[in-house]
Amino acid sequence: MAGLLGYLSMLSDDISSIASKTMVTASKTFATSFDDIGLLFDDIATYTKLATIKSTGLVIDDLAAIASFTNETTSDILKKELENANSVEELKENIKKLSKQEQEKVKKDLENIRQTAIKEAKRKAAKRELPIVYKIAIGSLKNKIIIIPIVLILSFFLPWLISPILILGGSYLAFEGVESILEKLNKTKHHEENSNENNLSSSKLEEKKVKGAIKTDFILSFEIIVITLSLVESNDFITKLAVLLTIGFIATVFVYGIVGIIIKLDDVGFYLQEKSSKFLQKIGDVFVASMPKVIKTISIIGTVAMLAVGGGIIAHQLHLLNFLHEIEKIKYLGITVIFLSEIILGLIVGYIIVKIEPIFVSLFKKNKS
């Protein structure tokens, strides 16, 4: 279960960051007073451009982007000003010359356009979610196709090497877990790298996140395959191969099936929002509004799970927590103590790696140059 949560954590982080890239600053506080109308215009232009233009590579004027979201409920005042203005700056200046009542109408129109743009951006982002999960799932299957023969060969010729590889894998998961925590606290260089992701195109960001998810999947898949092999070690080669292939396939379908279901819950919300029933619309609003919280919760739980998995692998391979075996016999208390001990071990190992990583990166760059 911890391994599964680790998967979900990495995937929820990656997929939600790709989706949020399309929306850019959805969590940003927008101006509510007309004095800040310039900021409101800038945000509308940002949303509309990214949601409807950037992916096609076309360059369209901001006014056209804003105008594309007007509808029958938009006031004639704003429509007229959009037609007469040659630029967003000119539109801002013209609106300031309107009466206070007309300005209030325009302000309301702009807020409606902003909400429509955000909703459209979310829909467009949602359409990319399943294709992203599919890419990662295919990468996961490829990982297992690579891992299975490697593990079988190692178990036959170099069985002693599997333990060090598992320790390295556990250390990597612990590193990812600690780095994720520090990143959320804005205390790692990777926070700056993530800020630079705003400069990447949607396709480039998607490619980067998919590769990152597949890399983490490789470590977790290796663990699954090794554990499975240990359960059928006494069987013949054909049986081993058949079991490993079956478990590898089932694990991939199960994990990414769950991920697919979770991330498409907001689509159910979008569907209900289109219904005529106010009650169904409210339910749809709840679904859509709750998804970011669900993703965030999975991410937090999954980060803890990765630390537990990483710490657990290291502890098991190096027999570091053997002194707790007596406590383990005490039903719930024993399980809790072991689980917390593995998390703490994961935190310690992960933090040490985070601190020494820049040294090795620097040495690698020097040797490469």
Give the pTM.
0.65
Q: How far, in Å, CA of 189 to CA of 205, rounded?
A: 18
Fill in the amino acid letter for 54.
K
- Encode 106-136: b = buried (16+ Cβ within 10 Å), e = exposed: bbebbebbbebbbbbbbebbbebbbebbebb
> Does the pLDDT at position 26 exceed 50?
no
Q: How far, in Å, CA of 42 to CA of 224, rounded?
A: 49
Q: How far, in Å, CA of 137 to CA of 293, rounded?
A: 24
Instruction: Give the model confidence (pLDDT) of 204-227 as tens digits.
Output: 767 877 888 888 788 778 878 887
Give which of 30, 197, 44, 209 is closest to 120, Cα–Cα: 44
Looking at residue 62, its pLDDT comes to: 65
Q: How far, in Å, CA of 14 to CA of 20, rounded?
A: 10
Q: How far, in Å, CA of 163 to CA of 169, rounded?
A: 10
The domains of the chain are located at: 2-22+122-368, 25-116
Instruction: Give the model confidence (pLDDT) of 50-90 as tens digits.
Output: 444 444 443 445 677 677 778 888 888 888 888 888 887 78
Instruction: Give the model confidence (pLDDT) of 126-160 as tens digits.
Output: 677 788 888 888 998 999 999 999 999 998 898 89
Q: Are 21 and 202 in contact (CB under 8 A)?
A: yes
* In the chain, % of residues over pLDDT 90: 11
How far is Cα of residue 168 from the mean position of the Cα atoms in its chain?
24
For tokens 């498409």, the residue is 264
